[in-house]
Amino acid sequence: MPIPRAAQTQRRTRIQEAKEEQILEAALDVFSMHGFRGATIDQIAEVAGMSKPNLLYYFRTKEAMHRALIERVLDTWLDPLRAFDAEGSPEAEIRSYIRRKLEMARDFPRESRLFANEVLRGAPLIEDALKGPLKLLVDEKAEVIRAWAKAGKIAKCDPYHLIFSIWSTTQHYADFDVQVRAVLGQEKAGEGRFEDAARYLEQLFMGGLAISK
């Protein structure tokens, strides 16, 4: 009797772990490109190099696959913000936050696009996470920023929109990668574009927040 892994009691064999990884890897490819509704199990199976029923042996539904991916991404996606430290200096913290986010856009563009696709369709799967844990985390960090402004360490500004602007400028290099490359052209679109972006963004935010070097 085939007992789908998901419904099982405890131990996961090595083969299970490997196959699930293999599936999620393929699913990330497809979901990040076409969104939940635009993705098909057949295509994921093809990318994963296994048969569709085999895929459905590990994840019972398409939604289960998507949910597993989203949860994993959401979890790690906010790490940079969590690392934002109230005790550090504004310059160092904001600088490294930008850098970390930009590194994620460079190293995990599919994860960024998966998230973007989910939000674009109204975020039905992560609405609660956005209104709950995410909001809480942002509220907390916004308070830190506000305190910095009050203490005269940075210019007075809306901390929420500051965070939004860091998110958007950095994630842009993952979500709109095709456009960025097209506009930069062959010469300027090499991997160096991330260094250029980092330099520019640090300049922008340091200046915009009136943080003198």
Partner DNA sequence: CAATAATTTGACCGTTTGGTAAACATTACA
Partner DNA sequence: TGTAATGTTTACCAAACGGTCAAATTATTG
Contact residues toward DNA (CB under 7 A) are 1-3, 5, 8, 13-16, 19, 39-43, 50-54, 56-57, 60-63
Nearest-approach distance from CB 46 to DNA, in angstroms? 10
Q: Which amino acid is at 170?
A: T
Q: Which residue from 101, 164, 187, 192 is in contact with its own copies, where contact means CB under 8 A?
A: 164
d(CA 27, CA 120): 18
Between 58 and 166, CB nearer to its own copies: 166
d(CA 45, CA 56): 9
Closest to 92 measured CA to CA, from 28, 35, 148: 148
Name the region of 61 (left: φ>0; alpha: ψ -120 to 50; beta: rest): beta
Q: Which does 68 bind (CB under 5 to 8 A by kind): its own copies, DNA, none?
A: none
Closest to 97 measured CA to CA, from 115, 113, 83: 83
Q: Which residues bind its own copies (CB under 8 A)?
A: 32-39, 113, 116-117, 119-123, 127, 130-131, 134-135, 138, 155, 157-158, 160-162, 164-165, 167-169, 171-173, 175-176, 178-180, 182-185, 188, 196-197, 199-201, 203-210
